[in-house]
Amino acid sequence: MKIIIIGGGFAGLELARKLNNHPSLEILLIDKSTFHQFQPLLYQVATGGLEPTNVSFPFRKIFQESKNVRIRIAEVLEIKANDNLLVTDIGEFEYDKLVIATGTTTNFFDNDKIKALSFPMKTTLEAVQLLNRVINNFEDALDLKDDKSRSARMSIAIVGAGPTGVELAGALAEMKSNILPKDYPDLDLKLMNIYLVNHGRRPLGAMSAQSGIDSERYLNDMGITLISGKSVSDFDTKQITLDNGEVLAANTLIWAAGVTGALPKGLSPELIVRGNRLIVDRFNKVEGMQDIYAIGDIATMKTPKYPNGHPQLASVAKGQGKHLAENFKREIRNKPLREFEFVNKGVMATVGKRNAVVDLPTPQLHINGRLAWFIWMFLHLFLILGIKNKIQVFINWVYKYFTADQSLRLAQRVNGHFKSIDLN
């Protein structure tokens, strides 16, 4: 059986790993990058806390001992479902089963100007580019003469108060308090503002009300300006305009306000639902399709527990990847397939060092503060691929915990300007 997996995120990678070395299966994993990206920790790359290699894992390294998994780096152009054919920029590939695990991309809500000028946070490269921008701004601020210009150059606005926005804001606030004053003693760091703009009424809207309350308290204690119930309508690299006309003086805008499904072309619009996601049955088969499946963030599966579809979490993606692998194996053995059922083990977010929030469903329990931070830390260590990476990340975190410092603030300056580091 020839199975093509599009996308090497949490869902696609888990599926490929569970089917690795199966004698009856031939697996082709197609991705635009040469590596898997551990997105929950990208914000630490963007703030110099971790190296890009700590959260990026080459596919060929993962499967170098595999006898049935092959890797191709390509852009998917179209799915020809009637011909069981996948069209890419490097050629066409036939399949018996096609699994779409393309995940999501940043949703700019059709604002092309903000898309062109802001910084998203979905890939390792984008995190590195953001780090370069932050360092660039502080180097340039040294040459500015008035406090108003310096303040705008150093200030940063983050749009979206979900886990990515909250965690990034906390990490930037720690840089402002503990690191940047040592690196830039000639600058008054009081001029730096960190804005967190949230369309909702409280941060971490997908978590419990108590998590929102706790995170808001942590953000306020760290000096972050939380702006709730408002949206960004315009940005020109000099100032940010909110939908109520209010203006924020900040030269850097980070967009973490939402995602939309990264859906390949070729499937009927009738199969696509809210969020640009594919509707699937309890076996992750795209409705109306015979040999096409979707797993992870790109899929909407309605169940009695989740009538509007599952949350877009790494745990859901990994669970669906594992479950689909088992069903493929059961199909080969002519055994009945099993429906997918998600067991929610909890959600969490961290707000700087020593502060986090954790919501556990069974028993229903909310944990905050330092204990929650340790739970967050050890869970993320467990999820990171590779013993070497686990050790390196743990050492970095321990060092930062006791010293409140990090030494990964690297950038390149060419002809008076910083350039982005191309990881590819």
**Per-residue pLDDT tens listing for the chain (424 residues):** 999 999 999 999 999 999 999 999 999 999 999 999 999 999 999 998 888 988 999 999 999 999 999 999 999 999 999 999 999 999 999 999 999 999 999 999 999 999 999 999 999 999 999 999 999 899 999 999 899 999 999 999 999 999 999 999 999 999 999 899 999 999 999 999 999 999 999 999 999 999 999 999 999 999 999 999 999 999 998 999 999 999 999 999 999 998 999 999 999 999 999 999 999 999 999 999 999 999 999 999 999 999 999 999 999 999 999 999 999 999 999 999 999 999 888 999 999 888 999 999 878 899 999 999 999 999 999 888 888 888 988 888 887 777 767 666 666 665 544 444 344 3
Strands 259-261 and 272-273: unpaired
In single-letter form, the type of residue at position 251 comes to N
pLDDT at 424: 38
CA-wise closest residue to 152 among 249, 253, 252, 254:
249
Domain spans in the chain, listed from the N-terminal domain onward: 2-32+74-106+260-332, 112-257+354-419
Given a contact cutoff of 8 angstroms between Cβ atoms, the answer to whether 204 and 196 are in contact is no
For the chain, first and last CA: distance in Å?
32
What Å distances lie between residue 12 and 268, 290, 293, 399, 408, CA to CA?
22, 19, 11, 33, 30
In single-letter form, the type of residue at position 380 comes to H
In single-letter form, the type of residue at position 91 comes to G
Q: How many C-beta atoms lie closer than 10 Å to residue 86's C-beta?
A: 24
**For residues 303 and 342, what is the distance between their CA atoms, to the nearest angstrom?**
9
Q: Counting beta carbons within 10 angstroms of the beta carbon of residue 357, is it exposed (0 to 12), middle (13 to 18) or buried (19 or more)?
A: buried
pLDDT at 399: 79
What predicted TM-score, i.e. pTM, was given to this entire model? 0.91
pLDDT at 423: 40
Residues 6+ apart with CB under 8 A from 258: 106, 107, 109, 160
CATH code assigned to 112-257+354-419: 3.50.50.100
**Per-residue pLDDT tens over the stretch 125-177:** 999 999 999 998 999 999 998 999 999 999 999 999 999 999 999 999 999 99
**CATH superfamily entry for domain 2-32+74-106+260-332:** FAD/NAD(P)-binding domain (3.50.50.60)
Residues 6+ apart with CB under 8 A from 92: 85, 86
**Per-residue pLDDT tens over the stretch 332-349:** 999 999 999 998 889 999
